[in-house]
């Protein structure tokens, strides 16, 4: 991935969603490129990098990436992008709505019953 690839991915997200105050990333060359940093500053986003060799500073993402790699990517083989997207969506549903979570007394992070109730009543979860 190159800095231009990061920009290509960020631009539609920023058009669709509100602009974040900052973006935290690791120190990969695609994130420390001057072109990317300059562009982020021009649109009013503060680029922030974790200290080199300090993945614990980005612990939530690092944990998710490790879990995603271990539980999904290492176990699947895809022939098309569409096939990968369908399989990823199934796994994400399991990860976000079904799996028990130790920190939540073995309850799922966003139980399907809450999500279904919010769809019926039109209320926001956590809002």
What confidence tens digit (pLDDT) does each residue in 39-72 have?
888 889 988 877 666 666 556 666 787 888 888 9
**Of all helices (H) and strands (E), which one includes residue 83?**
helix 81-93
Closest by CA to 10, choosing from 25, 87, 86, is 25
Cα-Cα-Cα-Cα dihedral of 104, 69, 24, 58, to 10°? 50
| Helix/strand/coil for 109 | coil
For the chain, which residues make up each domain, given as ranges? 3-58, 77-127
Q: How far is CA 61 from its chain centroid?
A: 7
Domain 3-58: CATH superfamily is Ribonuclease H-like superfamily/Ribonuclease H (3.30.420.10)
Check the CA dihedral 31-32-36-42 and report its sign.
positive
pLDDT, one tens digit per residue, over 85-120 is 999 999 988 888 888 877 788 888 777 655 555 555
- Residue 22, pLDDT > 90, answer no
């Amino acid at each position: 991935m190159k800095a231009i690839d990061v920009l290509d991915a960020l631009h539609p997200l920023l058009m669709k969603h509100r602009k974040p105050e900052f973006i935290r990333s690791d120190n990969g060359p695609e994130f420390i490129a001057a072109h990317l940093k300059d562009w982020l500053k021009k649109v009013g986003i503060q680029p922030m990098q974790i200290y080199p060799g300090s993945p614990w500073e980005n612990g939530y993402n690092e944990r998710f990436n490790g879990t995603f790699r271990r539980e999904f990517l290492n176990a699947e083989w895809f022939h098309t992008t569409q096939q990968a997207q369908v399989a990823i969506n199934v796994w994400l549903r399991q990860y976000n709505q079904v799996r028990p979570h130790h920190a939540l007394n073995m309850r799922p992070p966003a139980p399907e019953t809450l999500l279904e109730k919010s769809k019926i009543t039109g209320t926001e979860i956590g809002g």
